Amino acid sequence: MTDLFPAFDTLIVLDTETTGVNAQHDEIIELGAVRLRRDGAEFVADADLSCLIRLPTGRTVPPMIEKITGISQAMLDADGVGRREAAETLHDFMQGEKTLCVAYNAQFDLSFLYYFLARFGLADCLRGLKFLDALTVFRDRRPYPHKLENAIEAYDLGGQAVNSHRAIDDARATVCLLEAMAAEENDLDRYVNLFGYNPRYGISGKPIGSITYCAQSYDPHPPLYMLSE
């Protein structure tokens, strides 16, 4: 991923599992993140963050979410940390200069993270960061479908990565995917702060001020950064 030099010293690749799709009303139940630091001519894994998060009193894990993720209410009750503790841990984990935050379908995760952190006055750790959406890159590289599991299959990453719908596994899978996409075409820097969206449905959630959004077809097309120039 040499195209990301010298703009970034740190990559934080993250994923969330949630109780639904509405960032203002649903809750994060699991956080997973991998931090990579620049070491010479490559990025090297430096630290992981993985935690289950207890729900507010009166809220429970919906059956469909438990079916998808395998995360049960009993697991949160037994092993989850409080929301403030999780927010403070993530806030500290995100600190650093020249940091690029990466996720697969980043608009979804960043929307949840903003409301989650803002609840405790900790959203400042997102200010000034640059963002990369691995889904936007994958849509440019391969035709539909575009789930993370499809990307793992397309790049033959089954021996290195798994889309388990658990946050740390999916964050690690996204790291492997980034490396594979960079090896294929070293242009990840052109996608920084550029998010594609389905023109049929529009931008999901609240737009992020620093992001350029462009309608992105599900069919093969020129790279989105060429269309946005």
3-class secondary structure for the chain? CHHHCCCCCEEEEEEEEECCCCCCCCCEEEEEEEEEEEECCEEEEEEEEEEEECCCCCCCCCHHHHHHHCCCHHHHHHHCECHHHHHHHHHHHCCCCCEEEEECCHHHHHHHHHHHHHCCCCHHHHCCCEEEEHHHHHHHHCCCCCCHHHHHHHCCCCCCCCCCCCHHHHHHHHHHHHHHHHHHCCCHHHHCCEEEECCCCCCCCCCCCCCEEEECCCCCCCCHHHHCC
Measure CA 56 to chain center.
Answer: 24
Q: What is the pLDDT of residue 3?
A: 87
Looking at the predicted structure, is the pLDDT value of residue 229 above 80?
no
For the record, the structure tokens of 93 come out as 């984990």
Tokens of residue 132, six digits: 């990369």
Position 52 scores a pLDDT of: 98
pLDDT at 228 over 80: no
Give the residue-averaged pLDDT of 115-131: 95
Does residue 168 have a pLDDT over 80?
yes
- The band of 59, judged by pLDDT with boundaries at 50, 70 and 90, is very high
Instruction: Tell me the catalytic residues.
Output: 165
Can you give the pTM of this predicted structure? 0.96
Query: pLDDT averaged over the chain?
Result: 95
* 220: pLDDT strictly greater than 80: no
How confident is the model at residue 97, as a pLDDT?
Answer: 84
